[in-house]
Amino acid sequence: MELLQQICVRYALLTCMLLFCPFSSAAPANFVFGDSLVDIGNNNFLVLSLAKANLYPNGIDLGNGVPTGRFCNGRTVPDIIFEKLGVPIPKEYLNPTTRGSVILNGVNYASGAGGILDSTGSNYIQRLSFNKQLSYFQKTKEDITNMIGPQRTEKLLNDAIFVVVFGSNDYINNYLLTNSATSQQYTPSKYQDLLISTFHGQLSTLHNLGARKFVVTDLGPLGCLPSQIVRNNTVGTCLDYINDYAKNYNAALKPMLNQLTSALPGSIFCYGEVNAAIQQFITNRPNYGFDVINAGCCGLGPLNGQLGCLPGANLCTNRINHLFWDPFHPTDSANAILAERFFSGGPDAISPYNIQQLVSM
């Protein structure tokens, strides 16, 4: 009887999808991997994690103002992109309700403090590395296959957009930590090589699991984060040597993605230019509506850059004109501009295709 019920459920799902619920012209499912820049609440379900944004005033400008786990006053960049596509925002994997047919819309695996390396973010105790997120995606693929069969699963994954945002924590919460073991073991160039080679293997694994359309973002100017400015006892100015780490990493990332596109059948790896965009926000801030570009809107300590956005933290009166929400993350205003650039921008924003173009391919 139980087997018969499973067969009936599967038949009903297939009938719905084939006859009544055809996929839209946009990507029918979307999957997000990454760190706190795109975490929408996975870390809320990690009991021991110190990297959480589940307390007010995080999320103050999103919906009813109740924190969701997003490290922002509002939306993440993928949130806004999916809104523009007119598709559901994928739910966080660790949420117990992210099961059953809801995963046909895609899933978000991102985790605050997560990195390319498994060791990254250990200072926050519990987090999901890219390798762990990949293992969860493999389980999701199995669940989808059980629901709709292997052929439709292959098509769903081939058509889906895979957003991948990693690397910031591998510097901020690994290499740049005081008494970091990796900084003692690797020179900056050798560490960069380690990250790129590891990332290459992980993206290849994701392709082997069915992904074809990738949007991979580069590293922003990490030396301009309030947390880095304050930590190094400078007064409001970006740290060039940390920005150089990001620039050099990005210079290696772009050709690596091009190589993957050439080597992996059917793949398209799009390179999202975060670094150039943030640099524009800083150097031409009046053009983008930003008055404050070196301090967090919410936080504690000088420039609100020493501790994150917690109850009782300093909170700015105008969130719209701040580039940074807290010591590490952009505001909803900044994310909205980045999302628009990735969605419909030219090669200076995202290449070789923007997301509008990518979903139509």
Residues that are catalytic: 36, 326, 329
Please state whether the peptide bond connecting residue 352 to the residue before it is cis, i.e. omega within 30 degrees of 0.
yes
d(CA 95, CA 228) in angstroms, rounded, equals 32
Maximum CA extent, the chain: 70
Burial category of 100 from C-beta neighbours within 10 Å (exposed 0-12, middle 13-18, buried 19 and up):
exposed
Q: In 3-state terms, what secondary structure has residue 187?
A: coil
CA dist., res. 153 & res. 83, Å (int): 24
Residue type, 122: S
Beta carbons of 70 and 58 less than 8 angstroms apart:
yes
Q: How far is CA 221 from CA 190, 249, 278, 282, in A?
A: 20, 11, 7, 10
H helix count then E strand count, the chain: 13, 11
218-234 as b/e: b if 16+ CB within 10 A: bbbbbbbbbbbbbbeee
